[in-house]
Structure 1
Amino acid sequence: MATEFNYKGKCYNRDLSWLLFNRRVIELANETTTPFLDRFQFLAIAANNLDEFYSVRVPSLQSQMELTKDGIEKKSGLHYSKILKQLHKRNEKNFQIQYSHFTGLSKQLPQEGLGKLTTYKQLDEHQREKADQVFDQRILPFLSFTSYESNYNLDYLKNKRMALAVRMKTKGKHLIRIIPVPLEIRRTIRLKFEEGIIYLRVEDLIRNNLHNLFDDGKVEDILTFRIIRDLDASLDVDKDDNNQDTVKNLRHYLADRERGRITMFAIEDLPDVQAKFIDEFRKKFKIDEQAVYRVPGPLDLTFLFALLKSWKKTKPQLVYPGFQARKWPTNRSMLQYLQDHDLLLQYPDDSFDQFLTFLREAIDNPNTVAIKQTIYRVADNSKVIELLKEAAQKGIEVTVMIELRARFDEANNLKVTGELEDAGCNIIFGKKYMKVHSKTCLVLTKDGVNPEGYVQIGTGNYNESTAKGFVDLSLFSSRKDYVSDLASFFNYLEQPGANPPKYKVLAASPHRIEDMVIQNIQKVKEYYLKTGQGHVFLKVNSLTDVDVIAAIYDAASVGVPFRIIVRGACCLKLGVCGPKENIVVSSVVGQFLEHSRIYAFYDEETALWISSADLMTRNMDNRVELAAPVLDSDMRRGLEHIIDVYAQDDVDGFFMNVEGKYFKYESPKGHSAQQTFLHELANQHETDGQFQRAWSRMLNWWHKHK
């Protein structure tokens, strides 16, 4: 059971902590170890992160403030209004850092032979003539505007939309015209001159050609702005509804969601932008003052993604070097290997193709009677989906649990649902009030009371695109306890009113993963008090659950050492457990997105777990998640090696201090976990012409079965 704990004011606010994570992403643009073009990449990633934050997290805080009449958030002890004010202040600081890096990097583009990012006002007469021709031919035909004299409303502008607001005097009266930046045109116009290539932003070109659009009055003020809307509307998927009703409800939900209230109103802070017009515009269109940001540079730096795609092709030496991920040997059977051994893979060092190999062999295996899998996010044109469709068409019973509420992947999951249903797959939508966030696949060769087959349990999605850039773990096995537990797990998902089953080895949310973590922490504490030995290692994306934090504080107060790696939001505070506290918290942010979750408890037995769940209340109490113990001795050694490498990371690791700020060591020893794994990959010996995993038992098995 959870430890009783008065946590008020003894934890950080989740959202304020998350903004510090986004600052860490921004700071990678200033790291000398980051390749030049990847520095731009991190600036664009931070911009994309912030869009989601203001679409989801900020609206949630605003709702809490309204519902509680500006009550106190218990973790931090702060009023919600103060949290929102601090968020605004912290995000303004992030913008300053982000755009300072952007400006500095942009100045280096010509030196790298990549052209020049410039503005219309910096063009000479000849260049302006060519730019104006582009405007007339390629932009003007797509422009439209709406005039306002009263009834001010921006409902027709969807989330992430950019536009220009023009204050005009025409026929003796003032009005405001809104010109949306056309979606049909790329954000940057590429212009080639003898002196080189220049890139001009579309909104800048429109701004300086308004005379070609308006000839009925005088332009007095112009704002270039972009809006982020509240997308936090909830969707209930009722398991008792038929699939057609559920799909219909989701389509309506997606259409309505784009009309949420404005949570961020970002304005490009140009010299001629008048504060008076900003205030007038904000009041007329009923935009909250705290939603307004004057951004010191081009809005929405995600426009860099398209440029980087072309730049990386011409300048591959300016990006992280490529690598050859491990693949399963084409002349060896994965299922045959799994009959006697477990397998633990770490993406992206191991190729996601190995999961596809697993599925392919399952489909071709004449003993396969059923395949059951959870789907949360998949790639466009997913190979996983194609294989599941093929399995159903071959007569294998295929059941797919699709989470339609996977935020911002709803439309793709709707498409996938239709494809799988048409192929003859059985589709289920999970639990009404809980997202199914587990990542697992069950292949049955014998169903019934004593099922047999193969399992895969992972920390990441079945997405072959993101698997190239996300660090995740994937466990494969034919152990009967795993198979039996997953058979019970899928039966639970398929039955609307079923109670959660009791598992032999697995742990599942709601509640049981939290119980497992807390009980293991308490077990380590008891062992430490008896022997002075024992410690805990945790690696997650977020640590916000107060019951888990309370258990950590309780154990740390007697001296139990904790090594905790939290990529994103961390509500745990340092310095609150007394003189024996020994907690090290870091955030590893590097070439790849850290996404794996590892729970390791070192006492007389040592328990090693991987999980789909972060240590967040939503994952512990309000989602269906899975955690699996790693039982095979060789796989345990492999996982402990991974843990040791991460525990030593002092290059990609940003370390938390007692003030809640993050710092990097001035003189690191040079341990980068991500680069260590890539180095190990590059220096592996080849066996029979194939990259092989260096673990002895696997190599011995392969040799025996030549």
Structure 2
Amino acid sequence: AAIAGANLDEFFMKRIGGLKQQVAAGVQEHSVDGRTPGQQMAVVHACIRSQQPLRETVHAELFAELAAAGIVLVGYAELSAAEREAVRSDYYDHIFPLVTPQSIDPAHPFPFISNLSLNLLVQLRYPGDPEISLARVKVPVSSAAPRFVPIGASGRFVLLEDLMAHHLDMLFPEMEIVGCEPFRVTRNANTSPREEHADDLLMMIESALRDRKFAPVVRLQVRPGMDPLLRGKLAAELGLDEETDVFEVRGMMGMRDLWELARLDRPELKDPPHYPVEHPALVTRRNIFHIIRDSGELLLQHPYESFSASVERFLKEAARDPKVLAIKMTLYRTSSQSPIVAELLTAAQNGKQVAVVVELQARFDEEANIRLATRMEEAGIHVTYGVVGLKTHCKAILVVRRDFNGLRRYVHIGTGNYHPITARLYCDLGLFAFDKEIGRDATELFNYLTTGYTPKRHYGKLLVAPKMLKRGLLERIERETRLHGDAESGHIQFKMNALEDVDICRALYQAARAGVRIDLLVRDSCRIRPGVPGLSETIRVVSIVGRFLEHARVYYFRNGGDEEYFIGSADAMKRNLEFRVEVLAPVSAPALKSELRHMLDLQWQDSRGAWEMQGDGSYRRRTAEDGAELSSQQRLIEEAERRHHGASRLRKRKSRNQRSENGDER
């Protein structure tokens, strides 16, 4: 519920905000589905309103289940006299000093309302005076003032805004409180300045972030039954159309704050702790570059296999290895306290040539990335911001090392961000490659990212957007269609976050009409409709919703038996394929292809978190025919632990044998 609430907030901030900008600019261009921006906005608004009753039902069920588990949300009116007295005292000591009332009258214009803030609109008057005044009080949700205020140690909570509404007498002594209405505001975050007109990209993004704070409001959330005159005045002050931009919410506004409850110390209500294990090949103290060189390729499955014991170790050893000369890396999202950043700084201090491509426009991480870029530049790291007009979304590391017979290039290509926190929560893949052609391709990639120069760039194995990735996928889909026949059964499998690109969809439909079997594991939005007679009878679409967020991208083509697997950062979306720098890397080793095949097969067998799309676009939860549920994520946890256990036992056995041999020699 917290994630869904946050996603809906971001949808209004970016998508609705963008549509409103287009409407204001008079744009009449039709989208893929034949609608103008105004028509799109009307359809989206209607859809969101139609979903509201379902959201409210789900929220009510959620709070009922929490109550059954001893986590009870109560109204202030339900508290006993003793509890009210205790809460009032605590409120006065710890929350009241944080609250600032703002009058709304001719001497005090309507105040600025910050994005996603929860507020109280208070109606009040002096006793005996019929004239009603207005005031705005911001609900100061923060670490110091939690949204869910505990009532002692009872396991019961009252919402902060409810508590504040019943203590307005502290803010307005000797005033009569006539009414109090909560409201919440969402502002446009679709600030997209023209990079090609900027002399300094960093300054441009900083300016855009300042503008975003004061961007137009795109949504107002209020309670049902709010006084129509008050509602109209509030909408007008915020520059909104009352009919289209005001959304009524029963119950709690700002569901993203439910993360507070998720952080409660109630382990019995959560999944057992998951501890990622080392990849079997890395259960050793050997130099990681020797391991990668001997293996040729290593495939990592996060969060089942440890990010810190693989990617972070790779950078840690690179930063300290005297034979390493250069480290090049892309950063889209990461943590300010990330060990990765620390290792890059260490590498620079140790005299390595370090170059980092930081994407300043990673949505809602812009400020963090600006601080990160500044910090690295001050340490002597060569920081660039990618190619003008394109987002750098690819996940790549290139390490150049002087080995015994010359310079060698070691490459990591990932599907997920180099972020130590999400690496424990997202299902992603990473590929370590010691391959001359991939090494050359990675060098070309970083030269492109640091210069923006494109003519005559050639890639031997990597598929790189926006120049060749989309074309490469379309050619492979067409090849699968051409190869399909009675003797050869064509088969395409994609695993990704979203499938929206029109050209890719059309090519898949054409392949399906030819009889090619197409299996699509798409977690989020998918424009393909499966099982439509004469169009997509051989297509299946499944979304897996489980403990971890499915985030990996895998592209599989049977190719007449000479199977191809690619992993990387790109979803099959127009923005990814045409307006971002993305990378897909081939997985060539037969053993690693078998790993990917096993993972994909497991996910197609999933009967716990799998939702299968129907021909009308709706989803139906898949159930096990024999009643024995299979969770692909849990199975992958167990298999990773078994592999690690076996590798650890083997290492211990070898260590004992070596000690024994050394003893015999003595």
TM-score (norm 1): 0.85
Report matched runs for 1:191-590 at 5 Å.
191-192=151-152, 196-215=154-173, 217-237=175-195, 241=199, 245-269=200-224, 273-288=226-241, 289-309=243-263, 311=264, 313=265, 315-327=266-278, 328-341=282-295, 342-353=297-308, 354-445=310-401, 452-499=408-455, 501-529=457-485, 531-574=487-530, 578=534, 581-590=537-546
Report matched runs for 1:146-225 at 5 Å.
146-149=102-105, 156-169=112-125, 171-184=129-142, 185-192=145-152, 196-215=154-173, 217-225=175-183
Instruction: Say whether the 8 Å CA contact 2:498–2:526 is kept in structure 1.
Output: yes
Instruction: Say whether the 8 Å CA contact 1:47–1:300 is kept in structure 2.
Output: yes
For the residues of structure 1 that align with 2:290 and 2:248, how far apart are their CA atoms?
A: 61
For the residues of structure 1 that align with 2:204 and 2:516, how far apart are their CA atoms?
A: 50
For the residues of structure 1 that align with 2:519 and 2:452, how far apart are their CA atoms?
A: 40
- Show CA shifts across 1:621-653 (max 9, x none): 111111111111211111111122222233212
Tell me the CA shift for residue 83 of structure 1.
Answer: 3.3
Of the candidates 678, 686, 689, which is equivalent to residue 637 of structure 2?
Answer: 678
For the residues of structure 1 that align with 2:450 and 2:623, how far apart are their CA atoms?
A: 54
1:473 is paired with a residue whose SS is: strand
- Show CA shifts across 1:111-165 (max 9, x none): 4344x22111221222222222233332322222222235997672221111111
Are residues 1:140 and 2:96 paired?
yes
Tell me the CA shift for residue 332 of structure 1.
Answer: 3.1
Are residues 1:613 and 2:570 paired?
yes
Instruction: Say whether the 8 Å CA contact 2:530–2:536 is kept in structure 1.
Output: no
Tell me the CA shift for residue 225 of structure 1.
Answer: 1.0
For the residues of structure 2 that align with 1:256 and 1:668, how far apart are their CA atoms?
A: 55
| Change in 2 beyond 3 A, CA 1:70/1:503 | closer
Amino acid at match of 2:18: S
1:173 is paired with a residue whose SS is: coil
Tell me the CA shift for residue 481 of structure 1.
Answer: 0.7
Deviates more, 1:202-211 or 1:212-221: 212-221
Aligned to 1:596: 552
Q: Which has the higher contact order (CA 8 A, sep 6+)?
A: 1
2:306 is paired with a residue whose SS is: coil
1:102 is paired with a residue whose SS is: helix
1:686 is paired with a residue whose SS is: helix
- Show CA shifts across 1:307-344 (max 9, x none): 321x2x3x212111123322132423321121132100
Amino acid at match of 2:640: L
Instruction: Say whether the 8 Å CA contact 2:530–2:538 is kept in structure 1.
Output: no
Instruction: Say whether the 8 Å CA contact 1:161–1:227 is kept in structure 2.
Output: yes
1:504 is paired with a residue whose SS is: coil
Instruction: Say whether the 8 Å CA contact 2:12–2:186 is kept in structure 1.
Output: yes
Tell me the CA shift for residue 521 of structure 1.
Answer: 0.4
Amino acid at match of 1:187: R
Instruction: Say whether the 8 Å CA contact 1:155–1:259 is kept in structure 2.
Output: no
Tell me the CA shift for residue 84 of structure 1.
Answer: 2.6
Tell me the CA shift for residue 212 of structure 1.
Answer: 2.6
Instruction: Say whether the 8 Å CA contact 2:118–2:185 is kept in structure 1.
Output: yes
- Show CA shifts across 1:506-535 (max 9, x none): 110014111111100000000104635111
1:457 is paired with a residue whose SS is: strand
Instruction: Say whether the 8 Å CA contact 2:29–2:36 is kept in structure 1.
Output: yes
Amino acid at match of 2:204: N
For the residues of structure 2 that align with 1:681 and 1:336, how far apart are their CA atoms?
A: 23
Instruction: Say whether the 8 Å CA contact 1:352–1:464 is kept in structure 2.
Output: yes
- Show CA shifts across 1:360-413 (max 9, x none): 222233221111000000113010000011011111100001111111111111
For the residues of structure 1 that align with 2:445 and 2:371, how far apart are their CA atoms?
A: 25
Identity of aligned residues (%): 29
What stretches of structure 1 of length at least 5 have no aligned partner?
A: 1-42, 693-698
For the residues of structure 1 that align with 2:408 and 2:578, how far apart are their CA atoms?
A: 30
TM-score (norm 2): 0.90
Instruction: Say whether the 8 Å CA contact 1:167–1:177 is kept in structure 2.
Output: yes
Instruction: Say whether the 8 Å CA contact 2:569–2:582 is kept in structure 1.
Output: yes
For the residues of structure 2 that align with 1:469 and 1:691, how far apart are their CA atoms?
A: 29
Aligned to 1:21: none
| Change in 2 beyond 3 A, CA 1:69/1:407 | closer
Are residues 1:63 and 2:8 paired?
no
1:322 is paired with a residue whose SS is: coil
Instruction: Say whether the 8 Å CA contact 1:326–1:691 is kept in structure 2.
Output: no
For the residues of structure 2 that align with 1:549 and 1:152, how far apart are their CA atoms?
A: 55
For the residues of structure 1 that align with 2:289 and 2:137, how far apart are their CA atoms?
A: 59
Instruction: Say whether the 8 Å CA contact 1:239–1:496 is kept in structure 2.
Output: no
Instruction: Say whether the 8 Å CA contact 1:352–1:467 is kept in structure 2.
Output: yes
| Change in 2 beyond 3 A, CA 1:496/1:110 | closer
For the residues of structure 2 that align with 1:72 and 1:239, how far apart are their CA atoms?
A: 27
| Change in 2 beyond 3 A, CA 1:67/1:539 | farther
Aligned to 1:19: none
| Change in 2 beyond 3 A, CA 1:136/1:535 | same
Aligned length: 644
| Change in 2 beyond 3 A, CA 1:443/1:685 | closer
- Show CA shifts across 1:583-628 (max 9, x none): 1011111111111001101122221101211111111111111111
Deviates more, 1:161-170 or 1:290-299: 161-170
What stretches of structure 2 of length at least 5 have no aligned partner?
A: 662-666
Instruction: Say whether the 8 Å CA contact 2:101–2:171 is kept in structure 1.
Output: no
Instruction: Say whether the 8 Å CA contact 2:523–2:544 is kept in structure 1.
Output: yes
Tell me the CA shift for residue 211 of structure 1.
Answer: 2.6
